[in-house]
Amino acid sequence: MINKIYVIGVGLIGGSLAIDIKAKRPDATIFGLDHLEENLTTALELGVIDEKAVFEDLDNADLVILAIPVDATVVLLSRVLDAVSDFGLVVDVGSTKKDICKAVETHPKRRNFLAMHPIAGTEFSGPKAAIPNLFQHKTNIICEVEKTAFKLQEKALNLFAELGMRMRYMNPESHDKHIAYMSHLSHISAFMLGKTVIEKEKNERDIFDMAGSGFESTVRLAKSSPAMWTPIFKQNKDNVIETLEDYIKNLSQFKALLENDDFEGVFNEMKDTNYIKQILNGIQ
């Protein structure tokens, strides 16, 4: 049974997992740890966690959820594995998987770790951003499942399936390569769209009255946390640079079509890309 759950990092993802697990497993106790005491207090007041805990308590854990920025995960994961008992499972939820898996590949308790990436979130962060049902119908990428003790992974995956996640299995290198296209590039695209517009219009606040729902949707991810995203881009640097090269190339080609008055070409670029409709419908 998974009764004692320790969430390290009671922010958007850790807190949302805590809320859903509590709803599905009313007998479980959710303990919270965070490097910011005020986050922990907020999480307790909001009922996101049941109790505050400290690192030394981790040997009581059935499940430890590490939901902190990926650079901190690489540093802390070994220490967390050292701290849990042979019956405790540690999972991380980071948006990169290669460096994290590598950090513990020779750890004597490697079998107590499950590397995963639930693809869910919002542009907000911190314990107040935690919401119920965030993981309903969302994909959870599991990496190197074969390296995790079978009984531990089974209990955890049953729990995550109960929260509505569908599991997909992938090696860490493939995960990092593809998530660069499917997620990391979207964030940079939105951040640079926001930057471009702010630079141009910063002295003309009235202009922001012209922002419609299209701009808002496209720029939404530019509200995301730099503290969370900087280490993701650092760990996945090579893949992210490749996506940016492809993206810049496509934008430059589109610009060249405009410059050459090739509006049939412009039309066809958009028509071909409308295919994204079918793809997005397919995933829903």
x/- mask, its own copies, residues 142-171, rule CB under 8 A, reads ------------------------x-x---
Tell me if 55 contacts its own copies by CB under 8 A.
no
Tell me the β-bridge partners of 118: 140
In three-state secondary structure terms, 168 is: strand
x/- mask, its own copies, residues 80-119, rule CB under 8 A, reads ---------------------------------------x
Query: Is 39 in contact with 29 (CB distance < 8 Å)?
Result: no
Buried-exposed string 173-210: b where 16+ CB fall within 10 A, e elsewhere: eebbbebbeebbbebbbbbeebeebeeeeeeeeeeeee
Helix-helix angle 237-259:226-235, to 10 degrees: 100
Based on its alpha-carbon atoms, the radius of gyration of the chain, rounded to whole angstroms, reads 21
Q: How far is the CB of 197 from its own copies (least distance, A)?
A: 5
- Nearer of residues 154 and 245 to its own copies, judged by Cβ: 245
Query: Which positions ≥6 away from 266 have C-beta within 8 Å?
Result: 254, 257, 258
Selected from 28, 120, 130, 143, the binder of its own copies by CB under 8 A is 120
Selected from 1, 106, 108, 280, the binder of its own copies by CB under 8 A is 280
- Nearer of residues 54 and 276 to its own copies, judged by Cβ: 276
Selected from 88, 121, 127, 172, the binder of its own copies by CB under 8 A is 121
- Contact positions with its own copies (CB under 8 A) in 230-249: 230-231, 233-234, 237, 240-241, 243-248
Among 4, 11, 12, 146, CA closest to 88: 4
Selected from 29, 41, 60, 218, the binder of its own copies by CB under 8 A is 218
